[in-house]
Every structure is written in C-alpha cells, then in structure tokens.
Structure 1
Amino acid sequence: MNVAPMTAAATVRPIARRTVAPGNPWALARRALVYLLLSIAAFVSVFPFVWMMIGATNSSADIIKGKASIGTALITNATTFFTQIDAIRIFWNSAVIAGVATVLTLVVSSLAGYGFEMFRSRVRERIFALLLLMLSIPFAAMMVPLFVMFAQARLVNTFAAVILPTVASIFIIFYFRQATKAFPSELRDAAKIDGLKEWQIFFYVYMPVMRSTYAAATIIVFMTNWNNYLWPLIILQTAENKTITLIISALTSAYTPDYGMILFGTVLATLPTLFIFFLLQRRFVEGMLGAVK
C-alpha cells in the first residue's frame, strides 16, 4: 500500500532538483549584457528630457556652467516666457494645425489604405509602387513648387497652407494598407449581406475594428505635425500665426539667449505629445504589433 507514494516521491525529487539548478553561466552573461545595453539605451533616451526639466528650474548662467541639479529660477523663467510671447495664442496655433491635420490625415490616408487593399485592379500595384517611390523625393525639392502653388492660390500665411501638404501621407497610407491585411474579410462580406454600402462598412465596421491602428497612427501623425518646423517656417510669415516650434527657435537665435526660459518653453511644448502618447500608449503598442480586435 505504501509503495506507490514512495515511488512517486522518488521520481519527483530529481525533477525538482533539475528545475532549481543554476542556469548556464554563458546564458546569464548574455542576459546581463542585454540588460546593460538596454539600461544604457534607456539612459541616453531619457537623460535629455530630464536635463531639460532640470534646466527649466535654473538660470541661464547656471545652465552655461553645467549645473545638473534642480534650481530656484522656475518661477522667473515662467514669468519671462509668458511675458515675452503670447503663449496662449502660439499654443492655440500649434493645437489647431496639429489637431486638424491629424484628423484629416487619418481619414484620408486610412481611406486610401483601405481602398488599396480591398479593391483589386490591374494598375493598383503600379500606383502604390509609384507612391512608395515618391518617398525618396526629399521635401526640400518640393518646397519651391509648393510655395508657388499656395502663393497663386493666395493661401500664404494661412493654416490651410500648413495642413494641406500633410494630409495625404504616403507613410500612413502604407501603414494602413499593411494593417488592413489583417482585417477579417468575413466582416466585410457579412456587412454587404446586411445591406451596408461601402462607406458604411468603412465607418461602422472597419474603423471600430482597427482602433488600435488608428491610435498608433494618431500618435505618429500628431507628433509629426506638432513638431513640424521647416514648412511652417517658410509659409507662415507673421508672428500671430507662428507655432511653438518656430517661436522657441526664434528665442534661441537671440544675441543673448535666456536658456532657462527657452528650456521652460521647450518643456511646455513637449507636454501635449507626452499626453497623447500616454493616453493612447496601450493602443499604440497593439497597433504597432498589428493587433486587430
């Protein structure tokens, strides 16, 4: 009667010893090296932002000296920043441009990506290959024709001139087309059987299912438009219409720049993108991994 338990215990003990045995020292060394490299990469990535926040609390003289501790000039830097520029108007300009451009880009580019994947034709791949080929054209080569075109349309120094060139983003079209490959075709067929038209399928079926893809694209597009510098610098010619990136760049070009004030403004300019990222962080990871729910 007692033989069976003893046999079971005898067979279990060696297995337990093998599971708790120390691992391969080479594997442990490789893992330690990986963690070391990741720690270095994380430090290099986070340090500029931390230094920027610390610099926003110091005076310009302390920053030039290389002070790396929190100072007492935060209120002074904030007062100087809000005194020298119309911060509310400048941030409103950036928010309008980035917000409207993000919404239009997501709608237009996702429609294009959806169409490229769902509707088959002989010239579809050729047109898509031509779009990808256009990615190799630098924006500097298109600035003069774009400026002439908007000047003839009398749109110079308007938000529309900043927004329109960014609406049809080739990269976002490519991103949505690749993500649409994971979209279940059965949902589209079922929607057609229920009598939905193609635009209804897109807005009521496709968009809710691809919300993770939209979240990832929102972060990318918003960040691109918020930090856009070269084209707004050319097309926006009055101080009332300039964005926060242009204003901060102008502050750095002063004869004696106030680095504390500039870093304070830079921290403020970073907050909207951080807010959007942390708000959509989980969806962003799912969208990057191609998750479809």
Structure 2
Amino acid sequence: MRLLVFCEADADFRTVSALVDRVLQEEGPVWVRDLMPSHPESIRAWVGDGQGRSFFDLHNIAAYRRYLPNVRFMPGHFDGKPGAAGAQMARNAFTIARAVARDEEKKRDPPAGVAAVFVVWDMDDQGEGRRHGLAQARDEASRWARFRIVLGCPDAAREAWVLAGFEAETDEERARLDEVRRELGFCPCQEAHRLRAKEEHVARSPKLVVRRLTGDDFEREARCSTDAPLARLRGRGVGSGLHAFLQEVKERVVPLWGGSPSRT
C-alpha cells in the first residue's frame, strides 16, 4: 500500500510514520504483524514529494502545482458555508493528492495509486477552528477521493505526542522529569496538551520540555513514538489529539490490508 503524508517538517513525518507503523504492527492482520518488523517496505511505502522529501510540506502546497499537470485549486464555500481555518489548504492538499495518485497509477503495472492520505497539522492556539476546517475539507473530498483520509491534529503541537510516550528510564531522566513537574505544577507527559507556549524558551513550551526530558537526544525522542506501548500513547493522548489519530489509523487505514497478503 502506498501512503502519502502532508505535514510541516521532517520531525513531524518521522513521528507520524512511526505511529502508523506501530498501529499496523500491533493491530493489523496477522500476516502484516509478522512482516512489519523485518520487511515494512513489503507492507507500506511512503510517497515522496518529488523534491527530496518523504512527505508533502503543508507550507509549500502552491509550489507543488507547478510540476503536476492539470491541477486546479478550486476556491469557494464548503456545503454553502465559509471554510474555517485551514479548510482551503486541506482542499488544495487533497487536490494535489489526487494528481499524485493518478501519476502513481501510471507508473505501475498493475496500477497502484495512493491508498491513504494523512494531513497532520499543529493546532497551535486555533484548535477548534483548525479541526473544523480540516473536517470540512475531508467531508468534501470524501465524495470523490479513491483514497482514505486520516487527519492528525496535534494539540498544541507534535511535541505533545512525543511527550505522551515518554517514560523516565534512568535516574537522570527521573530527576529531569521531577524538576519539570515541580516547575509546571503538573506532569507534562500525562497532560502534554496543557503546554501551549509558542516561545521555545519558556517553561510551558512543549518543544523546550521535550528537549529537557530527552537531553536533546534525537534517538531518545524517537523512542517515545517507536517504543512506548500503544495503550500509554492512547491513554495520555486524549487531550492532545493523539488518541483520535491512532483510532483513525486503526479504523480507516488498517482495513485496507484486509485478510490476505497483497503486493505493496
């Protein structure tokens, strides 16, 4: 199966792709679970943007149209109502995805397009409006799309999803966590959605808290997504949108693999 991700940065893609793989490995059909640890490429492939990225950058939607033929962005209302925050952006993203899917089909025999499209966008301080806007665009696209659509709404930012998976492993990490908990007045891993500061140098910045707890270690941060039990991620991720994302992957994407093996 070929999967396509729209997000904002490499770090976002790494987190999203790791989480999708986790759900496939632990909640997919038995044959998928058997193959994922050793041959994930036989189960899923990520469609790159043709510009060297493994994902499509939400900040560059207009630029992708330049090398995709016959792509037109359609402005206007959604079911007669104005689009909320991000609705037009997501509409354009799904239009790009349709064009990419057609190109992918032409490259392969038998034809194999894009099975699922993920749009993952930090909510920042506009959670309600952005979630509504993404939903408007998905509802519209679902009428014509041949691919499944999954929305990821990290609230307030991707780092909240990382923190949901963090569990102190050493005395040094436990000391860091205790210090941060005392400063904040709550556990940042249990309630990461409360970290809403945009300025990266202040105590309630999710980016700063991740750096402090992981020692600014890239590999340690990655393990919060790749190694943490799904039950922990779901339980701690209700307020940050992680629980909803994992559930959408399970309900919308996992069924694509059906019951018997098929070629990616």
TM-score w.r.t. structure 2 length?
0.31
Q: TM-score, normalised by structure 1?
A: 0.28
Q: Which structure shows the bigger proportion of residues in strand conformation?
A: 2
Higher relative contact order (CA 8 A, sep 6+): 1
